[in-house]
């Protein structure tokens, strides 16, 4: 009797376990299909453009929808230009904030205040950044441009990069803070006991230990920069040409798609815009994969 009961109980457990596993697996499979689905949809809808322009689309320098001359290079360049410039500008700031919050001021009023400010920055809608850029940043950039003796557009690569810097900063800063806080006290103590100063401990023990996590944060923020649409659209000048310099107006892939998508019913044109979406999707994926590989290589454990 009792034996029978306990096997029944075990059977019930086994069933629950099976259901639970089933849910987990199906969630994973759904995500996989979603990614594949995106890729397939984008590819199908860009067929027309792919057939018309072939691989040359990626290197085409001219974007003239009226003449059916369509090339993606200006937007690829614009995207990389703004994203990497923003990344470069953001690293010193986000690393400083991460060290400040993760090692120097782990708790207390200053730290709480700074932490919530960083979180607020991360949660702010990008249209607000766009507005702020137009009303605050553009006039300042215009002044700089006048002082430098160049045409005072105000909008362009430089302005967009600054806004992107502020927008991506919270991501790398908060991930950086988390991984810096995870560095074992053991190791810091060992370094202090050998006569290291606090600065030396940070530079030679904490950062090397946390570097793969710090790097992960940077890659995540790069992903955000590559795909940011609204704020960039408001500030880049939407000039569909390869940018000539840092102050030049330009356009990015995401911003072009948002701008032009609704404006056309012409099939080839539409298909070219979707192909740009496909390229953006692939670039983001490749950067994430490379990032993951580097993280794996530099990881301590």
Of 1 and 194, which has the nearer Cβ to other proteins? Answer: 194
Contact between 250 and 241 (Cβ < 8 Å): yes
Per-residue three-class SS string for 17-82: HHHHHHHHHHHHHHHHHHHHHHHHHHHHHCHHHHHHHHHHHHHCCCEEHHHCEECCHHHHHHHHHH
Count residues contacting other proteins (CB under 8 A)?
A: 20
Q: Which of residues 230-269 bind other proteins (CB under 8 A)?
A: none
Measured CA distances, 223 to 28, 66, 87, 145 (Å): 22, 32, 10, 29
Nearest to 81 by CA among 255, 260, 213: 255
**Any contact of residue 201 with other proteins (CB under 8 A)?**
yes
Give residue 15's Cα distance to chain centre. Answer: 42
**Any contact of residue 200 with other proteins (CB under 8 A)?**
yes
Indicate the helix (H) or strand (E) that contains 289.
Answer: helix 267-298
> Where does this chain touch other proteins (CB under 8 A) — which range of 10-18, 59-67, 196-204, 225-233?
196-204
**Any contact of residue 193 with other proteins (CB under 8 A)?**
yes
Torsion of CA 194, 199, 205, 211, to 10 degrees: 180
Nearest approach in angstroms of CB 221 to other proteins is: 23
Nearest to 44 by CA among 288, 277, 286, 284: 277
Q: What Rg do the C-alpha atoms of the chain give, in angstroms?
A: 25
> Where does this chain touch other proteins (CB under 8 A) — which range of 25-33, 115-123, 195-203, 275-283?
195-203
From 11, 17, 69, 189, residue interacting with other proteins (rule: CB under 8 A) = 189
**Any contact of residue 294 with other proteins (CB under 8 A)?**
no
Nearest approach in angstroms of CB 184 to other proteins is: 8
From 204, 245, 263, 282, residue interacting with other proteins (rule: CB under 8 A) = 204
**Any contact of residue 139 with other proteins (CB under 8 A)?**
no
Residue 124: DSSP 8-state: S
Of 71 and 102, which has the nearer Cβ to other proteins? Answer: 102
From 76, 168, 205, 216, residue interacting with other proteins (rule: CB under 8 A) = 205
Where do contacts with other proteins occur on this chain (CB under 8 A)? 184, 186-187, 189-197, 200-201, 204-205, 208-209, 300-301
């Amino acid at each position: 009797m009792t034996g029978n009961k306990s096997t029944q109980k075990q059977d019930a457990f086994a069933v629950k376990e099976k259901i639970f596993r089933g849910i987990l697996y199906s969630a994973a499979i759904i995500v996989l299909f979603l990614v594949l689905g995106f890729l397939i949809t984008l590819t199908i809808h860009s067929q027309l453009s792919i057939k018309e322009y072939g691989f040359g689309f990626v290197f085409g320098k001219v974007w003239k929808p009226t003449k059916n001359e369509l090339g993606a290079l200006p937007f690829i360049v614009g995207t990389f230009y703004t994203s990497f410039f923003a990344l470069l500008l953001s690293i010193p700031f986000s690393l400083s904030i991460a060290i400040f919050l993760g090692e120097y001021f782990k708790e207390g009023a200053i730290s709480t205040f700074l932490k919530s400010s960083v979180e607020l920055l991360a949660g702010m809608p990008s249209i607000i950044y766009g507005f702020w850029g137009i009303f605050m940043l553009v006039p300042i950039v215009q002044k700089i441009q006048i002082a430098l003796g160049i045409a005072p557009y105000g909008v362009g690569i430089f302005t967009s990069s600054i806004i992107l810097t502020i927008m991506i900063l919270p991501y790398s800063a908060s991930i950086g803070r988390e991984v810096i806080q995870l560095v074992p006290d053991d190791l810091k103590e060992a370094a202090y006991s050998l006569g290291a100063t606090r600065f030396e401990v940070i530079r030679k023990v904490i950062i090397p230990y946390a570097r793969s996590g710090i790097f992960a944060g940077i890659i995540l923020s790069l992903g955000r920069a590559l795909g940011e649409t609204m704020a960039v659209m408001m500030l880049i000048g939407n000039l569909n040409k390869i940018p000539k310099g840092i102050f030049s107006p330009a356009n990015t892939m995401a911003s072009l798609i948002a701008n032009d998508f609704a404006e056309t019913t012409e099939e080839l044109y539409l298909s070219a815009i979707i192909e740009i979406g496909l390229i953006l999707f692939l670039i983001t994926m490749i950067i994430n994969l490379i990032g993951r590989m580097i993280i794996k290589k530099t990881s301590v454990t």
